[in-house]
Amino acid sequence: MIRTLVVDDDPMAVSVHRQFTERVEGFEVIGEATSGAAALRAVQSQQPELLLLDMYLPDLDGLEVLRRLRGSSAPVDVIAITSAKDVDVLRSAMHLGVVHYVVKPFTFRTFRERLDSYAAARAQLDRMRAPAQGDIDRLYGRLRSSGEQSLPKGISAATLTHVTDTVHALADGLTASELSERVGFSHAAARRYLKFLHDTGAVQVALRYGAAGRPEHLYRWSGT
């Protein structure tokens, strides 16, 4: 579970963002704050992994909170959730390492897509060992994508993360039939997700010959 802190000057927005976050698999809200100072204290005491940060706060603005966080040893990622559309604010947020910048108002789908792409990139980064340029490109591609809207038809960001983790956990690989049994969806859907992972270079495919019948395609994680 990705430990998440929600920060917004509007208590109603805090409540909505909390509810949205708790609807996304793999995230848990561990705290809330309605000011910059309270956010900094909460980061220090609760040590979240992700901060959902408004840029307009009553004391320290979001950019100042970011500057202080980057000047500290707190290893927290930040997604900006704000009504600020100022180019200078956006540029400063980028310089300070904001992962995503979500402008209010937004739908739950948009919110979920950003969290899903962040979680997928984080999971891929955790698995990387001496990555090649292609691996790095795919990592940044996850963050640049807009979730399901940038994925092919029939590919869900949340399901893709689940499939990716399943394949990665099996050193000997698996077939589409075996994936279908493990994740509980159709053989055709399993083949579609495995083909997508193969097309992006995340998995390798080989033939597995059984005692009888046609050989099966065996998919193994590529090592990225």
pLDDT computed for residue 172 by the predictor: 85
Q: What is the pLDDT of residues 121-170, one digit of tens each?
A: 888 777 777 777 877 777 777 666 555 455 677 787 678 878 888 888 88
pLDDT computed for residue 186 by the predictor: 92
pLDDT computed for residue 162 by the predictor: 81
Q: Give DSSP secondary structure letters for 93-159.
A: HHHTT-SEEEESS--HHHHHHHHHHHHHHHHHHHH-SS--HHHHHHHHHHHHS-GGGGSPTT--HHH
**pLDDT above 70 coverage of the chain, percent:** 90
pLDDT computed for residue 132 by the predictor: 77
Q: What is the mean pLDDT of residues 169-192?
A: 89
Token pair belonging to 208: 């597995």
Confidence band of 39 (pLDDT split at 50, 70, 90): very high
More confident residue, 142 or 120: 120
Confidence band of 37 (pLDDT split at 50, 70, 90): very high
Quick one: CA torsion of 88, 95, 50, 161, rounded to 10 degrees? 110
More confident residue, 132 or 211: 132
Q: 3-class DSSP state for residue 58? A: coil
Q: What is the mean pLDDT of residues 174-195?
A: 90
Token pair belonging to 73: 């040893």
Rounded to a whole number, what is the distance in angstroms from the first to the last CA of the chain?
A: 22
pLDDT computed for residue 224 by the predictor: 44
Quick one: CA torsion of 28, 104, 113, 99, rounded to 10 degrees? -80
More confident residue, 208 or 212: 208
pTM (2 decimals)?
0.65
**pLDDT above 90 coverage of the chain, percent:** 41
CA–CA separation, 224 and 219 (whole Å): 14
CA–CA separation, 24 and 206 (whole Å): 34
Least confident of 13-22, 56-65, 116-125: 116-125
CA–CA separation, 75 and 45 (whole Å): 13
pLDDT computed for residue 151 by the predictor: 63
